[in-house]
Amino acid sequence: GQQLNQSPQSMFIQEGEDVSMNCTSSSIFNTWLWYKQDPGEGPVLLIALYKAGELTSNGRLTAQFGITRKDSFLNISASIPSDVGIYFCAGHQSNAGGTSYGKLTFGQGTILTVHP
Amino acid sequence: NAGVTQTPKFQVLKTGQSMTLQCAQDMNHNSMYWYRQDPGMGLRLIYYSASEGTTDKGEVPNGYNVSRLNKREFSLRLESAAPSQTSVYFCASTPWRGRGTGELFFGEGSRLTVL
């Protein structure tokens, strides 16, 4: 099946540092999404991107939908301890008829640890 | 708001036992999903239900069955549990039917261990 390659697999950073992670695919997606999973919880949507080239911010988070539609990146600026968790990219691909049922392909996740 | 509620949160089974994971959402969403999460594998889709009365296989359906009982509830059944089904299971829902955008709402997860 389709696969998303997410990197890095894990990051250990100091509070205040900026973070960057990315996702690449061999397939084209119509939507790229970034989710965060806190320990013991389900993933929560952070940012959704709908157009190639789109750059979207949500507070300290910035994400971009790659021009080729095969990649996306997420940046976190000035990290804080509560940024700890697993970050997942996900791609959504509608079929030719434009119908879809929310079937996402997920990356393997980036585990972020922030040292105070 | 409760959102997506899963039960049980933890379960230990012996090989060959059966069990059902329950999921309910109170957001009037049309589509519901069951994922499993394993270390280093991301989230993999087991089954989904685009709307009440329909179900379809995802990426890893073997060993599982599902029932969309009504618009609110979507259950996942393991008929004969195997150690390979040790995982964390997530139920999710989305309001969209048809032109979905992937904006899923997840439950808190059910951690299953099969001995």
Write out pLDDT tens, residues B77-115.
999 999 999 999 999 998 865 555 678 999 999 999 999
Work out the pLDDT band at A111, boundaries 50, 70, 90.
Answer: very high
Write down the pLDDT at residue B43: 92
From residue A64, alpha-carbon distances to A40, A54, A79, B14 in Å are: 28, 6, 19, 46
Among A1, A40, A102, beta carbon nearest to B31 = A102
Whether pLDDT at A22 is above 90: yes
Cβ-Cβ contacts under 8 Å, B9 against chain A: none
Q: Which residues in chain B are contacts of A90 at CB distance < 8 A?
A: 102
Contact B42 A104 (CB under 8 A): no
Beta strands (DSSP E) in A1-116 are 4-7, 10-14, 19-25, 31-37, 44-49, 55-58, 61-65, 71-76, 85-92, 104-106, 110-115
Residues of A in contact with B90 (CB under 8 A): 42-43
Are A42 and B94 in contact (CB < 8 Å)? no
A99 Cα to chain B: minimum distance (Å): 4
One-letter amino acid identity for A4? L
B32 touches B23 (CB < 8 A): yes
Taking only the tens place, the pLDDT of each residue in A75-92 is 999 999 999 999 999 998
